[in-house]
């Protein structure tokens, strides 16, 4: 459904060039959920914005790669054609619903606008369809709340409104960028259950961007782990959780509190994410890696095929995997 290959995005600033995404490749099929996981600044959101055609240039530039939807390269389309794909075929839920919604228009009008602009629906028909969409994402009393403004909704309800807008035209691919950020645990679960429910109703492909391993455990089919603009590990969700093949993935898993673990302290990843204007040579994770050798500082690892469906950008992935045997 969606295939990204060797995508690179950089931002040219006065202070230097920020290599936000550097050679990222992934695909997602109909009805499948791919989670893209990583710390803040790893390039997750920039990659999603590139897929949507939302990179402001300048300062942002897509320097290489391809983005194909149903085999059609989106980077070769003019802005008019790209805009027709955006929303109708590929839609996005942004992480901050309050800033993404227009505060001076009612939520109902903002959903209805999708039908009026893209499908030429009448005002009455657009209103009816918008209310139906609000019902579909479980907004209570949707008819009476059509004329309410974003500030009159809770954080979880605003996120549901964003999902309603994104799904209004029935896209084949939905990109959800940190859809549960700043929501409490109960509401997080409700939003993730809603996305899974809506996906079951269609063959929609879902790309879920997050920094929270717990959020994706029950909904994702595959996970791509990003670090410093690159994918460093990829594989089925259960396999990746049970037997990570990259020290960074292992570090993320070790830093999560678990009910079945009697450790008194969590194990953090040493150091801090790198400056993307000065990405370390070789393996970008090597300054923080507990098993780094000399070659890690000089030789950039490719994505090694660990076994069928599993990849790891670590020279010593066998050592990481064997630690779980």
Query: What's residue 81's pLDDT?
Result: 87
Query: What's residue 118's pLDDT?
Result: 86
User: CA–CA distance from 44 to each of 40, 71, 89, 137, 161 (Å)?
Assistant: 8, 22, 20, 26, 23
**Separation of alpha carbons 11 and 276, rounded Å:** 10
Place of tokens 């673990």: 261
Percent of the chain with pLDDT over 70: 97
Contact between 41 and 32 (Cβ < 8 Å): no
Residue of 105, 99, 163 lying closest to 137 (CA atoms): 163
| 58: preceding bond cis by omega (within 30 degrees) | yes
Query: What's residue 325's pLDDT?
Result: 63
Backbone angles phi, psi at 90, to 5 degrees: -130, 125
**Separation of alpha carbons 278 and 276, rounded Å:** 5
Which pair of structure tokens corresponds to residue 237? 């969700």
- Condensed to tens digits (0 to 9), the pLDDT of residues 134-189 reads 998 888 999 999 999 999 998 888 888 988 888 888 889 999 988 877 677 778 78
Q: What are the residue ranges spanned by the domains of the chain? A: 221-258+267-324
**How many degrees, rounded to 5, is the angle at CA 134 between CA 133 and CA 137?**
90
Neighbours of 87 (CB within 10 A): 18
Contact between 17 and 10 (Cβ < 8 Å): yes
Helix (H, G, I), strand (E, B) or coil at 218: coil
Query: What's residue 283's pLDDT?
Result: 95
- Condensed to tens digits (0 to 9), the pLDDT of residues 87-109 reads 889 999 887 777 788 999 999 99
Radius of gyration of the chain (CA): 21
What residue ranges of the chain have pLDDT lower than 70?
Answer: 182, 258-264, 325
């Amino acid at each position: 459904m969606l295939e990204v290959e060797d995508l690179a995005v950089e931002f040219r600033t006065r202070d230097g060039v920020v290599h936000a995404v550097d050679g990222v490749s992934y695909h997602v099929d109909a009805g499948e959920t791919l989670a893209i996981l990583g710390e803040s600044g790893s390039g997750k959101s920039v990659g999603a914005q590139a897929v949507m055609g939302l990179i402001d240039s300048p300062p942002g530039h897509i320097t290489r790669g391809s983005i194909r939807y149903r085999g059609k390269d989106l980077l070769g389309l003019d802005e008019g054609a790209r805009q027709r794909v955006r929303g109708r075929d590929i839609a996005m839920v942004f992480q901050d619903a309050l800033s993404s919604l227009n505060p001076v228009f009612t939520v109902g009008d903002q959903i209805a606008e999708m039908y009026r602009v893209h499908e030429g629906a009448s005002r009455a028909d657009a209103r009816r369809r918008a209310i139906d969409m609000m019902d579909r994402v479980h907004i209570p009393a949707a008819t009476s709340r059509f004329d309410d403004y974003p500030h009159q909704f809770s954080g979880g309800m605003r996120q549901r409104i964003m999902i309603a807008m994104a799904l209004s035209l029935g896209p084949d691919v939905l990109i959800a960028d940190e859809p549960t950020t700043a929501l409490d645990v109960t509401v997080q679960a409700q939003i993730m259950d809603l996305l899974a429910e809506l996906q079951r109703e269609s063959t929609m492909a879902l790309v879920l961007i997050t920094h929270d391993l717990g959020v994706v455990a029950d909904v994702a089919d595959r996970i791509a782990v990003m670090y410093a603009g690159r994918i460093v590990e990829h594989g089925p969700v259960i396999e990746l959780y049970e037997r990570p093949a990259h020290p960074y993935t292992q570090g993320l898993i070790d830093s999560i509190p678990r009910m079945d673990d009697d450790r008194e302290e969590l194990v953090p990843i040493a150091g801090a994410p790198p400056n993307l204007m000065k990405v370390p040579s070789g393996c970008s994770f090597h300054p923080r890696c507990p098993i780094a050798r000399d070659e890690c500082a000089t030789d950039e690892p490719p994505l090694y095929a660990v076994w069928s469906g599993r990849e790891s950008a670590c020279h010593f992935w066998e050592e990481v995997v064997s630690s779980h045997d």
